[in-house]
A = this chain, B = another copy of it.
């Protein structure tokens, strides 16, 4: 299979790179988030050059929180803008990340991008067999999406270790190890740039 064919069957998922998760005053700030923004931008650039489908996975919640997980529903109340409320500045992508024509935006309300969404059917229709993951945060939305991708038999599943982040390096590393143990590839951005898919 040629590289071009391989890349046509690959999608890059960019997960939750929204102001509320990344900015200093974000409502759900992930400590390691800001540092990876340049690498996520670069991963998206590489994907575009290769013809890899870019999928922007974002949380957007009802302003009343009716579609949020029970354990975070208390964050939404009248007169209070909860995390990644639909239409809020917090729900927007961070500066430097831009959805372009041909990209796809996927809205989710739970950790995994596959949970109660049409992502799997969309990717199958597009002929996608392999996934590359970037974004935040490693133990939650990144990992849940990765484990579901493995369960759904995407192969290979790749997590770019320095284009993903968690609250602490320890949490990030422990989760990367667990993912390695189920056959997930975990290159650095530089390694990924130098390789196929």
A binding-site residues for B, Cβ under 8 Å = 69-71, 110-112, 115-116, 139-140, 144, 147-148, 150-151, 153, 155, 170-171, 174-175, 177-178, 181-183
Contacts and interface: CB of A to CB of B under 8 A. Distances in A.
Given A116-B151, A175-B178, 14 more contacts: A69-B151, A70-B153, A71-B150, A71-B155, A71-B182, A111-B147, A111-B151, A112-B147, A170-B174, A171-B174, A171-B177, A171-B178, A174-B174, A174-B175
Given A69-B153, A153-B69, A181 B139 contact: yes
Would you call the interface of chain A mostly helix, strand, loop, or mixed? helix
Nearest to A181: B139
B183 A115 contact: no
B183 A151 contact: no
Contact of A148 (B71, B115, B150, B177): B115
